[in-house]
Structure 1
Amino acid sequence: MRIAQIAPLAERVPPKLYGGTERIVSCLTEELVRLGHDVTLFASGDSLTAAKLVPCCDVALRLNPDVRDFLPYHAAMLEEVRCRAHQFDVLHFHIEFLHFPLIRDFAERTVTTLHCRLDLPDIYPFYRAFPDIPLVSISENQRLPMPPVNWQGTVHHGLDPAGLPFKEGSRGDYLAFLGRISPEKGPDRAIDIAARVGMPLKIAAKVDAQDRDYWEAVVRPMVESHSNVEYIGEIDETQKVDFLGNAAALLFPINWPEPFGLVMIEAMACGTPVLAFRYGSAPEVVEHGRSGALVDTVEQAVEALEMVLKLDRRQVRESFERRFTAERMTRDYLDIYENLTGVQTGTAPARRAGGESIGLEVA
């Protein structure tokens, strides 16, 4: 099967640092190649892949200090995708909804995985205007706020087990918080929990510009006032393996409808149990009493932590291997690809106005 994967340009595929969507695109792309499919990846030029790479900018946009606006780069990428659309049996988009108006002529050969939250009121009229575009959710909970749309299925994320090796026993006595410093991710709750149980907490997370005020006003003072809390900052993939694998447990104290929560299965892959708040996808990911615990309040989290710390780490890893591998994820997507109504339908080559399709030239 000839498959195009269209990734966001904010991060490399796979990402050097933070970037859940790009990591999933990488795992899916590499597994499709391993299975013998002809895969083309539209992504930043510094991406690493066994697929054919169409570079749509030199480096990941978030890491390029000269880039101020991501939109022109994504628009240029979509023009290249449109011009090459006839080359593919399936086109798989991971960039939310920017492409919808451009794919009307071949929408039946496309699928779009929605990686973000869908409960924001401004997006409702948009999806209502495009009820025919084939969509995939990453959790059942993610779907709940949406108007009637063309859901093709729900595919939980999966990762390469080799990239996150199992750790039989944690070397540290600390709790871990990994991801992004923002109110919805609950780092303040994590600090509160660690303080109440008297355990060290290590926070490895980035601070985006829009969350800088929250960091300065809420989280940073809490970090500085608790001697058991260490803020590490953003970490890379190698550091993540040690950070999660050596933790006694991962704290996932969210207070928003998390679409999936990739860090939960990253921890589980290392054998590290997860203590998660019961929001969004968490009940679909964490098996209470097996791979972690689900709670509703800080008080419940404090009570549940003793049980979480006693969980069998091999059992936690087994839960990951049974439910959240890249191989399983890829099988699920192949089932969706094969059931798209247009995968056997030939499509006339798309061309730029006045000429042949040409390569993308974006700095």
Structure 2
Amino acid sequence: MGLTVLSVPFPFAPVGPDVVGGAEQVCAAIDAALVRAGHRSLVVAREGSQVAGTLLPVPAIDGGSDDAARTAVHAAMHTAVRAVIARALEQHPVDVVHLHGIDFHAYLPPPGVPVLVTLHLPLDWYPAEALRPTRPDTWLHPVSRSQARTAPPGARLLPPIENGVAVDRLVIRVPKRRFAVALGRICPEKGFHHALDAARLADFQLLLAGRTHPYPAHERYFRTEIQPRLDPRRRFLGPVGFGRKRWMLGTARCLLAPSLVPETSSLVAMEALAAGTPVVAFPSGALADIVDPGVTGFLVRDAQEMADAIADCDRLDPEACRAQARTRHAADTMLDRYLTLYDQIAHPHAMQAGVA
């Protein structure tokens, strides 16, 4: 008998085929997998989102340049999300609610339906009490072993479900060109100014692609740290769709990932490997587990080491990158684990193992 799963991503970001955020990509992949498997997928997401199942839209609520205004916007959004979730639970026989947002604790439904929470961000970004839920039938899990190792005392977590990417869609065999790429949200913690510095030190072309969300800190970072470093050989492309991203990853000499915070999981690094492109990264969180130094990329400490590693990527075998992606980062493995866990959560007698 098919399941009905109600997914709730972070409500301020849309879900769709070309989204930038890792959490939104995972949510979209799960939504599509549920539909393919014959289950019912309901997605509570920002209006304008594109889903395979049924979209239950939340009005877009933006604005607020100071703390008081942002607090009011978040409160209004949480009220709207709670209302949509409540209506969905009244109108549909939901078996599992799956929450993805960092603010999940603000719209947990009342006790009754089982809830799964995927923790996509560093665990110390969540309120401590959110990691020790008192609501019955509420299950939390990390997205990588690296993230799981940072769990604070008392956190009630299931074993991690490692993120994955659509490896087969990303395979591309084209000649490498003399440029590097960097992709992701344009924000301070991604450290893309270091990638630009490294490309300049290496006298190498860099294509930087991604979205700058309308948050004051993100816009200030782009204005003060990214724009001054751009020139004819270091270019910012803005958001790119899947086809262009695939071409960029496949033809690039390497992907630069200078994250300044512990990455819980780096989907773009996995995508680069699937496209046969090595990754040069700071050893931040899960990146240290994804990159096999000297085989699928290099781990470096600063912009100068990153610049030196760009040239060294010439000697790495694209097939070794693709092989790692197939064996360790395939989305099918991730999706199978989610569908199995949904079935276990929806049928409590199957949850014999308890929490980790």
Shorter-chain TM-score tier: 0.7 to 0.9
- Please tell me the residue identity of whatever aligns with 1:4: L
Q: Of 32, 35, 52, which aligns to 2:34?
A: 32
Cross-structure match for 2:280: 275
Q: CA deviation at 1:31?
A: 1.3
Paired AA for residue 189 in structure 1: H
User: Secondary structure of 1:155's match?
Assistant: coil
- Match for residue 78 of structure 1? 82
Specify the alignment match of 1:259 in structure 2.
264
Give how far 1:217 is off: 2.6
Spell out, residue by residue over 1:217-265, the C-alpha distance to the aligned partner (whole angstroms, 9 max, x if none): 33322224xx531222232333222222221110001121122122111
Which residue type is aligned with residue 246 of structure 1?
T
Contact 1:15 1:22 in 2 (8 A): no
- Please tell me whether the aligned partners of residues 268 and 274 of structure 1 are also in contact (alpha carbons under 8 angstroms): yes
Deviations 1:249-295 (A, max 9, x none): 10001121122122111222222211111011112222333322222
2:184 is matched with which residue? 179
TM-score normalized by the length of structure 2: 0.82
Q: Quote the Cα distance in structure 2 between the aligned partners of 1:76 and 1:218.
A: 35
In structure 2, runs of 5+ residues without a counterpart are: 64-69, 351-356
Q: Secondary structure at the match of 2:229?
A: helix
Distance, in Å, in 2 between the alignment partners of 1:176 and 1:170 is 15
* Local SS of the residue matching 2:112: helix
Q: Residue 5 of structure 1 aligns with which residue? A: 7
1:213 aligns to 2:244 (yes or no)? no
SS at match of 2:73: coil
**Contact 1:179/1:206 (<8 A) preserved:** yes
Q: Deviations over 1:169-193 (max 9, x none)?
A: 3452101111133332122211222
- Give the drift of 1:135: 0.5
RCO greater where, 1 or 2, for CA within 8 Å and sep 6 or more?
1
* 1:71-101 residue CA offsets vs partner (Å, 9 max, x unmatched): 4344323233235447122221112343467
Structure 1 contact 204–235 (Cα < 8 Å) conserved: yes
Paired-residue identity, %? 27
Distance 2:117 2:335 in 1: 15
- Which of 298, 304, 307 pairs up with 2:309? 304
1:14 CA displacement: 1.4
Q: How many residues align?
A: 335
Question: Is 1:293 paired with 2:295?
Answer: no
CA contact (8 A) 1:2 1:39 kept: yes
2:226 is paired with a residue of what secondary structure?
helix
Contact 1:168–1:313 (CA under 8 A) maintained in structure 2: no
Q: Distance in 2 between matches of 1:15 and 1:75?
A: 27
Aligned to 1:352: none
Alignment match, 1:95: 101
Matches within 5 A, 1:327-342: 327-340=332-345
| Alpha-carbon spacing, 1:47–1:233, altered in 2? closer, same or farther (3 Å) | closer
- The aligned residue for residue 164 of structure 2 is 158
2:207 alignment partner in structure 1: 202
SS in 1 for 2:255: strand
Q: Cα deviation per residue 1:143-202 (whole Å; 9 max; x = unaligned)?
A: 3153422211211222233543x2223452101111133332122211222122221111
Call closer, same or farther: CA 1:223–1:100 in 2, change over 3 Å: closer
Structure 1 gap ranges (5+):
346-363
Give distance in 1, aligned partners of 2:344 and 2:111.
18
Q: Residue 168 of structure 1: SS of its match in structure 2?
A: coil
What is the CA-CA distance between 1:333 and the residue it aligns to? Answer: 1.5
CA contact (8 A) 1:17 1:237 kept: no
Give TM-score, length-normalised by structure 1.
0.81
Relative to 1, partners in 2 of residues 1:233 and 1:244: Cα closer, same or farther, differing over 3 Å? Answer: same
Matched letter for residue 96 of structure 1: I
User: 192-201 vs 227-236, which deviates more?
Assistant: 227-236
- 1:297/1:70 CA distance change after superposition, 3 Å: same
Give me the whole-angstrom Cα distance separating, in 1, the residues matched to 2:244 and 2:62. Answer: 20
Q: Distance in 2 between matches of 1:154 and 1:175?
A: 32
Moved over 6 A (4+): none
Distance of 1:296 and 1:216 partners within structure 2: 25
